A and B are shown apart, each in its own frame.
Chain A
Amino acid sequence: MTQSHRIPGKGLIDRSRPVRFSFDGRPYEGFAGDTLASALLANGVRLMARSFKYHRPRGVLTAGPEEPNALVEVFEGEQKTPNMRATVQEVFTGLRAQSQNRWPSLRHDLMAVNDRFARFLAAGFYYKTFMWPAAFWERVYEPAIRRAAGLGALSGQPDEGRYEQAFAFCDLLVIGAGPAGLMAALSAGRAGADVILAEADARMGGRLLADQPTVADRPGPDWASQVLGELAAMPNVRLMPRTTVTGAYDGGTWGALERVGLHLADPGALPRECFWRIVARRAILAAGALERPIAHPDNDRPGVMLVSAVQSYVARHGIDPGRVVVFGNNDSALQAARVLTAQGVRIAGYVDPREDVAVVEDFPVYPGAAVTGTRGRLGLRDVAVRHKGGVSLIEAETLALSGGWNPTLHLACHLGGRPDWDAGLAAFVPRAGMVPSMTVAGAARGQFSTAACLADGLAAAKAALSDLGLKPGTDTAPAAEDRPYTIAPFWAVDAGGRAWLDFANDVTTKDVQLSAQEGFSAVEHMKRYTTQGMAPDQGKTSNVTALAVLAEATGQGIAQTGTTTFRPPFMPVSIGAMGAGGRGMGFAPRRLATSDGQSRDMGAPMIEAGLWYRPSYFPRANEVTWRQSCDREVTMVRSSVAVCDVSTLGKIDVQGPDAERFLDFLYTNAMASLKPGRTRYGLMLREDGHVMDDGTCARLGQDHFVITTTTAAAGQVMRHMDFVQQAFCANWAVRFASVTEHWAQFAVAGPKARELVNKILQTPVDERNFPFMACGPACILGVQGRLFRISFSGELGYELAVPARYGADLFARLVREAEGMGGGAYGMEALNVLRIEKGFITHAEIHGRVTAFDIGMAGMISARKDCIGKAASRRPGLTGAEREQLVGLMPIEPQAAISAGAHLYDKDAPATREHNQGYVTSVGYSPTLQSWLGLGFLRNGRARHGEIVRLVDGLRGIKVACRVVHPVFHDPEGGKLRG
């Protein structure tokens, strides 16, 4: 394809580097430096998209990221990205793009029939219909609406693209690299500040590139290049092109999205995008301003653009726009017409509603005039102009609109500040101090001449430097274009027909007027009722005009009407970039015990518990189901000996003369009375009187304890202990630290447990020198470790702890020895059955709504001392017969499977909420008792042992009669435990 619409020699593109790309399957050629939009325009392609609601043919309105129309899908191999702005996407060889929201093709879109029925599809019509018949909403109407709505499509395939998140820190963040931003960065950089200059465009320079004003007696782009050269050479300045600052957050934190690899044919290892969190001591918002169109009938055809966009395409990309009609209400539009003329563009007419506009130009001028319509189905053909002499039809390929400029103040409003209406500029301008660490400079605060922007950027930099305690240099702003900007507010042409405000969402002036007519006259009501400003472009080119139309309809002024709320992100940010690193295993850290490798080698499926991975069971060759392995492992513990890694339990080392006092305050039961060398079960409450956690407390010395927590609650308990100590007893002599990772700890349980541990202990233990609940130092295979005589299985049990670096070896040795004795390793499934048989609780039971009373441990709340949670546990609702209390459940038919999560009912009661008596928390099949066993909570349960209740699990179709029993099923006297 030839690039038929290029002006020879013009533009900042690199004509020595042609690139080949495709759009809707057709090959095209452009140049390095082109966006997809400019490259398509160069090839005479004006039709690029269809609109959201009416499927109107659309081209480009803008030359920047605020584009409402030209959204396309871009392919990377099999991956597809919807809603990419053709005005931002840079072309490269191999780029594949296609239009979206059309069927079967962009030129012939059958959904365009909606446009014929537009009168029935006015704002909010769907709230008034689709209600009959009732069932049709979900079955017919809604699916049809959903299919019709939406723009681009996701591929449905996992996003395999690479993304990154990163932090950056600086003294000064300068947002926008136009004249104000460049001047600010230059001055701050020269003064020695750490500066980040972030610019959304691929090329820095802002309007200097498109308007090409004279700066310091040079063309604007040349001055920009020189400044950028100096900035690039400064080690304290970081230039970040292709980086959009997306949000202002608290404390001088900014979000920013960098397009890292999206413009490269082969990005290699580069990510597609990087989401930056920039922490800046000061910031200067120099984001410029956005031009806005004028609403006139049929102002949305391909070929209708903003004046600034036409300028940009001509100056930056050498695009020939054909014959251009300019419709503007301000001096910058008129000046643009002059500049374009000088560049060889044919201005077919300059139309301005102002009466006093000069008429002596090198092109026809229509003062006191307005555009009242356009024609051209898939591209602009002619423009109807109503002027003093009547209505003329002017043939044109491009209609350039300018309703004035809106300062790009979005970021200034992200912390909740509201801008002021400046009647002179007919625009909202930021107030000072809206973001505490930020000043706004240049066009972003309504300074529209190049000279004013340069001076304002310099002044902002000097102020920031002074705030930073740095000495500003003696820079002065260079001389530059300094034309005044005047504007006569003019928003919409009243000439019948539909005049578009929000091109992207197909909102017209009629929609806004209807909204006001129906009482949706608050600006937020109008927005929500019409969807004005809620499309991908966030109404950047249309919101102000829409609320001006609203203000006119309601008779209130624009200042009284106010704006909608500005919220991050300033430009849409991909979920992939902001969620970089989250995919797959990256979402949360993994904690691995020292036995992890060996457990996996043994074939154990690993399950997650509090970020840790723990073996579920250790399958053997002849075992087909997990139940077979689990039953065997339980039986090993009950009949010989088996080993389990319990290192994941939280371990906290507590030391100091006041340690016992501190623990007494934390635990419900007394720990001060614990003798050195002894261990005690402990219960902790939250201050609200409910059980927080349980564990063991071992007194290794007079002033030295090691306590354990459950795996899941370790972090919560540590934080709680830090709080209690720092808040309530900061002057006590006690210190503690988490040592969970420092020690590997293994349970050895079963009748032969002592036999096994004595094989590896330097000093053998017996019942006398190391009785039940003893603890102390031990030499384990030559390593100084710790030994505890505690058990979570109800069998004779020991726990051996060694420094973590010896954990893997000790586990291997213990398992080998156990296997030699008819035992082996056991996993979480067996551990769970063993503890259910003994009625030991886990967080399945202490789930946060349970009190010590509920689990039968009210007696553990010592009457002789205060403890956390004691006072609140006395509330009347937390004790008594109405409470659901921990019970054991045994099916009358022992082999009848029961399920956790089932509910309990009286034997003959229906399974409805009104009759609910409780629920089941844990179940397991006990090979020891040859029966299913359950733990659960039953209303007044402790008084109901022996009763038969009905267990109902409607989800799984289980209904089983169970006998209520004491929760300790196995060895209730504890003889085995004590050895």
Chain B
Amino acid sequence: MRISCPCCGPRDRREFTYLGAAAYLDRPDPDAPAPEWDAYLHLRDNPAGRTRDLWYHDACGSWIVVTRDTVTHAVLAAEALA
């Protein structure tokens, strides 16, 4: 698998660390009810197909939202978080 780091260009999978679903960006309000925090931390859509997830390019420190397909492993887009 290869991912295009917005900062560095296309790189091999081995340069990246995976975190999880992009839903992890939607951090609830600190005082949000417990079920909201439970959902945020644990529950996942976990689609078989197109998904958006979070990757870290170890080489440059960029966090990237990657749009890809969990069945075909096709990488469709990669955008920097910041």
Contact = CB atoms under 8 A, between A and B. Distances in A.
Taking the complex as a whole, does A directly touch B, i.e. does some CB pair lie under 8 Å apart? yes
Interface of A: 249-253, 277, 279, 415-416, 436, 687-688, 718-719, 722-723, 725-728, 730, 866, 870-872, 874-875
On chain B, which size bracket covers the interface? 20 to 34
A875 B34 contact: yes
Given A722-B56, A723-B19, A866-B30, A251 B2 contact: yes
A726 B32 contact: no
Contacts of B71: 416
B77 interface: no
A735 to B, nearest CB: 11
B7 to A, nearest CB: 12
B10 to A, nearest CB: 8
| A-B residue pairs, 6 tightest by C-beta | A251-B2, A730-B82, A250-B1, A726-B82, A866-B30, A250-B73
Contacts of A722: 56, 61-63
B81 A688 contact: no
Given A687-B41, A722-B61, A723-B63, A728 B27 contact: yes
A719 B56 contact: yes
Contact of B17 (A252, A719, A725, A727): A719
A415 B81 contact: no
Interface of B: 1-3, 12-13, 17, 19, 24-25, 27-28, 30-32, 34, 37, 41, 54, 56, 58, 61-63, 71-75, 80-82
Contacts of B25: 727
Contacts of A279: 2, 12
Contact of A249 (B1, B17, B63): B1
Contacts of B3: 251
A726 B63 contact: yes
Contact of B75 (A251, A730, A870): A251
30 contacts: A250-B1, A250-B75, A251-B3, A251-B13, A251-B75, A253-B1, A253-B12, A436-B74, A687-B27, A687-B41, A718-B61, A719-B56, A722-B61, A722-B62, A722-B63, A723-B54, A723-B56, A723-B63, A725-B82, A726-B62, A726-B80, A726-B81, A727-B54, A728-B27, A870-B30, A871-B30, A871-B31, A872-B41, A874-B34, A875-B34
B18 to A, nearest CB: 11
B75 A727 contact: no
B30 A251 contact: no
A872 B37 contact: yes
B2 A252 contact: yes
A416 B75 CA distance: 16
B81 A727 contact: yes
A416 B61 CA distance: 33
Contacts, number: 67
A872 to B, nearest CB: 6
B32 A871 contact: yes
Contacts of A872: 37, 41
B39 to A, nearest CB: 12
A688 B56 contact: no
A471 to B, nearest CB: 24
A468 to B, nearest CB: 15
B37 A730 contact: no
Contacts of B82: 725-727, 730
Interface centre among A251, A728, A875 (most CB of B within 10 A): A251
Nearest to A874: B34
B63 A727 contact: yes
A234 B61 CA distance: 40
Contacts of B56: 719, 722-723
A52 to B, nearest CB: 35
A871 B63 contact: no
Nearest to B34: A875
Given A253-B12, A279-B2, A723-B19, A871 B74 contact: no
A484 to B, nearest CB: 37
Contacts of B41: 687-688, 872
Contacts of B80: 726
Nearest to A417: B72
Contacts of B13: 250-251
A728 B62 CA distance: 14
B29 to A, nearest CB: 9
Contacts of A277: 12
Contacts of A253: 1-2, 12
Interface centre among A688, A727, A866 (most CB of B within 10 A): A727
Contacts of B17: 719
A727 B37 CA distance: 17
Most chain B beta-carbon contacts within 10 A, residue among A687, A726, A875: A726
A872 B33 CA distance: 11
B13 to A, nearest CB: 8
A130 B56 CA distance: 52
Contacts of B24: 727
A63 B16 CA distance: 43
Contacts of B1: 249-251, 253
Of the candidates A250, A725, A870, the one having the most CB atoms from chain B within 10 angstroms of its own CB is A250
A875 to B, nearest CB: 7
Contacts of A687: 27, 41
Nearest to B24: A727
Contacts of A249: 1
A377 B3 CA distance: 58
A848 to B, nearest CB: 15
Contacts of B34: 874-875
Contacts of B72: 415-416
A723 B24 CA distance: 10
A829 to B, nearest CB: 33
A874 B38 CA distance: 11
Contacts of B12: 253, 277, 279
B58 to A, nearest CB: 8
Given A415-B72, A722-B63, A727-B63, A871 B81 contact: no
A799 B62 CA distance: 32
Contacts of A436: 74
A279 B54 CA distance: 24
A416 B72 CA distance: 8
A722 B73 CA distance: 26
A728 B72 CA distance: 31
A335 B31 CA distance: 81
A253 B24 CA distance: 30
B41 to A, nearest CB: 6
A688 B34 CA distance: 12
Nearest to B58: A719
Nearest to B19: A723
A874 B31 CA distance: 11
A853 B2 CA distance: 43
A730 B2 contact: no
Contacts of A870: 30
A250 B2 contact: yes
Given A727-B25, A727-B82, 19 more contacts: A249-B1, A250-B73, A250-B74, A250-B75, A251-B3, A251-B73, A252-B2, A253-B1, A415-B73, A722-B61, A722-B63, A723-B19, A723-B56, A725-B82, A726-B63, A727-B27, A727-B63, A727-B81, A728-B27
Contacts of A252: 2
A277 B54 CA distance: 25
A730 B61 CA distance: 13
Nearest to A876: B34
A719 B54 CA distance: 12
Nearest to A736: B61
A871 B41 CA distance: 11
A726 B74 CA distance: 25
B50 to A, nearest CB: 15
A686 to B, nearest CB: 10
A722 B16 CA distance: 14
Nearest to A687: B41
B73 A871 contact: no
B61 A871 contact: no
B68 to A, nearest CB: 10
A442 B42 CA distance: 50
A800 B53 CA distance: 42
Contacts of A728: 27
